[in-house]
């Protein structure tokens, strides 16, 4: 199985609506489906909040995310597993930023989830499904059958 991928996500205009004078705000408006997809991402990828914000302006964003139960593994820093030094740019397998989306006016989080699944998870899911099809039909040494849920949970832990 593949190692867990790193996804970097911008804040302004990506997680929350882009607003004028955003640096002065402490109340933000989440983009539709952002919270749900970010929660799913946290469970399936290493996630980094990647933003130009710093100091108090960054803290306002972090406080908002925390109040909305949105978690990231790192904030504006590389994952500790990166075994090389970079410049100020963080390393990620994919960077998600509204400034890079040209075909839509607003970020579509459900399309992004679909993209991530196809790009980074689908092979693992197909592999696990093939294992499930074989293992569920065969008893283990204890004489009981492994449930699909047990096997999928074990595969998720192994990817982790």
Q: What is the pLDDT of residue 3?
A: 82
Domains in the chain: boundaries? 6-159
The pTM for the full model equals 0.74
Whose tokens are 């970079």? That residue is 86
6-159 CATH, one of 3.40.50.720, 1.10.1240.10, 3.30.2130.10, 3.40.50.1000: 3.40.50.1000
Cα gap 153→135, rounded to integer Å: 14
> What string of DSSP letters covers 88-154?
SSPP-SEEE-GGG--S-SS--HHHHHHHHIIIIIHHHHHHHHHHHHHHTTS--TTSSPPPHHHHHHH
Interval 57-97: pLDDT, tens? 999 999 999 999 999 999 999 999 887 777 778 999 999 99
Within 10 angstroms of residue 55's Cβ, the number of other Cβ atoms is: 8
Residue 30 has pLDDT above 70, yes or no: yes
Provide mean pLDDT across the span 110-119: 90
- Percent of the chain exceeding pLDDT 70 equals 72
Q: How far is CA 6 from CA 11, 34, 102, 141, in A?
A: 16, 17, 23, 37
């Amino acid at each position: 199985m593949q190692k867990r991928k790193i996804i970097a996500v911008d804040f302004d205009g990506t997680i929350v609506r882009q607003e004028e004078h955003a640096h002065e705000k402490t109340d933000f408006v989440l983009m539709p489906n952002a919270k749900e997809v970010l929660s799913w991402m946290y469970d399936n990828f290493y996630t980094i909040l990647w933003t130009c914000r710093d100091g108090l302006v960054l803290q306002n964003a972090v406080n908002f995310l925390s109040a909305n139960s949105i978690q990231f593994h790192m904030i504006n820093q590389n994952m500790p597993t990166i075994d090389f030094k970079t410049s100020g740019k963080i390393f990620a397998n994919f960077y998600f930023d509204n400034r890079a989306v040209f075909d839509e006016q607003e970020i579509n989080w459900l399309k992004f989830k679909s993209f991530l699944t196809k790009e980074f998870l689908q092979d693992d899911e197909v592999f696990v499904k093939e294992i499930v099809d074989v293992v569920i039909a065969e008893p283990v040494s204890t004489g009981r059958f492994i449930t699909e849920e047990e096997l999928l949970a074990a595969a998720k832990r192994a990817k982790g």
